[in-house]
Amino acid sequence: GAGVSQTPSNKVTEKGKYVELRCDPISGHTALYWYRQSLGQGPEFLIYFQGTGAADDSGLPNDRFFAVRPEGSVSTLKIQRTERGDSAVYLCASSLRPSGRAVSTDTQYFGPGTRLTVL
Amino acid sequence: QKEVEQNSGPLSVPEGAIASLNCTYSDRGSQSFFWYRQYSGKSPELIMFIYSNGDKEDGRFTAQLNKASQYVSLLIRDSQPSDSATYLCAVKSSASKIIFGSGTRLSIRP
């Protein structure tokens, strides 16, 4: 079946603009995660959804960042008033479910990422 | 202290030798542990997960977990040039979110 997809693959914007990044998880996966990865660093946790609700948004750096998952499937990460420091690859991952006795259900499958460049 | 720590490398290993990658974590309540491989410009892909103390083997890969020492490692036997990549350790914390280390760059020299 299809894996996690993310659009756009690349986004170039100007400082101060608003951007939306989209993630389409694997069908049937209830948990969805957003990460940000800068060069030479591991993925930095931003937020995770269980179904439609944000189960943990403690990684969002400030109130310019917001994410939604209104129907429990596709998610959109929204960044207002972009800054040059927001430039990174934004990764989305999904898993079958985030908790439970079967560790395999924690396994995250990553999308190809969106490379955001803020000029 | 970072929640998940890895030596950034690069770690250079001759082809055919054993590569040993290490990771420590700070949250004693952590439940499960993952190793991901990431090629340059690509997304992370899962190699193995482990949640019980001891060793878990899968082909050329062995994950080792020691919860008392808060230590996870990955051994790659018979290293191949195609194993050259960044290896990311990830830990599911007691808060249920998954935290990644910064990764170790591994280079297999022919």
The Cα–Cα gap between A53 and A30 comes to 10
- What pLDDT is stored for residue B87 in this prediction? 98
The one-letter amino acid code at B100 reads F
- The segments of chain B whose pLDDT lies below 50 read none
Query: What's the confidence (pLDDT) of residue A18?
Result: 98
The whole-number pLDDT of residue A112 equals: 96
pLDDT at site B2 = 77
Residues of A in contact with B94 (CB under 8 A): none
**A74, A22 in Cβ contact below 8 A?**
yes
The pLDDT of residue B93: 78
| Contact between B49 and A103 using a beta-carbon 8 Å cutoff | yes
Whole-number Å distance between alpha carbons of A82 and A15: 5
- Contact yes or no for A76/A20 (Cβ under 8 A): yes
Residue of B nearest to A112 (CA): B43
Helices within A1-119 (DSSP H only): none
Give the pLDDT score at A61. Answer: 95
- The C-alpha atoms of residue B34 and residue B61 are separated, in whole angstroms, by 12
Return the pLDDT at B9. 85
Q: Which chain B residue lies closest to A113 (C-alpha atoms)?
A: B43
CB A102: neighbour CB atoms within 10 A?
11
Chain B residues with CB inside 8 Å of A98's CB?
96
The residues of chain A scoring below 70 in pLDDT are 1, 98-105
The answer to whether A110 contacts chain B (CB < 8 Å) is yes
B43: nearest CB among A41, A58, A112: A112
Instruction: Assess A58–B contact: CB distance below 8 Å, yes or no.
Output: yes
Q: Which residues contact A82 (CB under 8 A, 6 or more apart)?
A: A13, A14, A15, A16, A17, A18, A19, A64, A116, A118
Question: If you search the block for the tokens 């995660």, which residue do you land on?
Answer: A33
Return the ∠ at Cα A61 (arms to A39 and A33), rounded to 5°.
75
The pLDDT value recorded for residue B1 is 67
Residue type, A32: L
